[in-house]
Amino acid sequence: MAFRAFLIAIFIAAAVAPALATDYMVGDDKGWASGVNYTEWAQGKDFRVGDTLSIAPALATDYIIGDNAFWTLGVNYTVWTEGKDFRVGDTLMFMYKPGSHNVLSVNGDDFEKCTSSNVSAVPLMSGHDVIPLTSPGKKWYICDIGDHCSRGMKLVITVSAAEGPIPSPTPGTSPAVEVSPWRSCAWMVAMMAVYRMIMA
């Protein structure tokens, strides 16, 4: 009788254990990327044997220039760019009242002088201009209306290459993936065995 109770206890403990395993997405929605503090991410988490870690590349980011101040006078866009990691694949979104401002892509010289020496350059002026970042390097944008550029409506960013692809794990070194089918199979066999012993 005691033996049967013991088996039932094991059965219940085993039945509960798999439900407790947690799949952690490393970095959550920021993924596995530079510029993420994984010490902070790991804080307060209780990792257990049987849990899994999933590594996924960072998702592309859509930047609303100036955040909820948008593209306007009175914002320091140098301050806005601080701590941001612009990558190929990200997009810039310039939001403003059409007619009040515009967005002109310029070179570094023109950026400093708040001029446009490129006669064929056409400013964007829809009020919700979306610029995909397609190549690495420095990019300069100004508002070409009146003295808005010299009053601060200028944005310079440095775009880095997209985050590299995740190297595929070497065969045989990925227990997280390879153990699972075996584990669920062994788990069913064990359950059947315990069930038979209890019912015997």
| Residue 90 C-alpha from the chain's centroid | 11
Shortest gap between Cβ of 180 and ligand NAG (angstroms)? 32
Q: Give CA–CA dist 124/35, Å, rounded.
A: 31
Closer of 31 and 152 to ligand NAG (Cβ) = 152
Q: Give CA–CA dist 77/168, Å, rounded.
A: 39
Closer of 32 and 187 to ligand NAG (Cβ) = 32
In which element (H, E) is residue 53 found? Answer: strand 52-54
Shortest gap between Cβ of 155 and ligand NAG (angstroms)? 12
- Structure-block tokens of residue 184: 């669920």
Query: Restricting to residues 45-64, which ones interact with ligand NAG according to CB under 6 A?
Result: none
Cα-based distances in Å from 26 to 40, 50, 186, 200? 11, 16, 28, 46
For helices 2-20 and 175-199, angle between their N-to-C axes, nearest 10 degrees: 150
By CB under 6 A, is residue 40 in contact with ligand NAG?
yes
By CB under 6 A, is residue 121 in contact with ligand NAG?
yes
Contacting residue, 57, 127, 136, 152, with ligand NAG by CB under 6 A: 152
Closer of 21 and 121 to ligand NAG (Cβ) = 121
Contacting residue, 118, 158, 174, 180, with ligand NAG by CB under 6 A: 118
By CB under 6 A, is residue 150 in contact with ligand NAG?
no
154 close to 78: Cβ distance less than 8 angstroms: no
**Footprint of ligand NAG on this chain (CB under 6 A)?**
37, 39-40, 76, 78-79, 107, 118, 120-121, 152
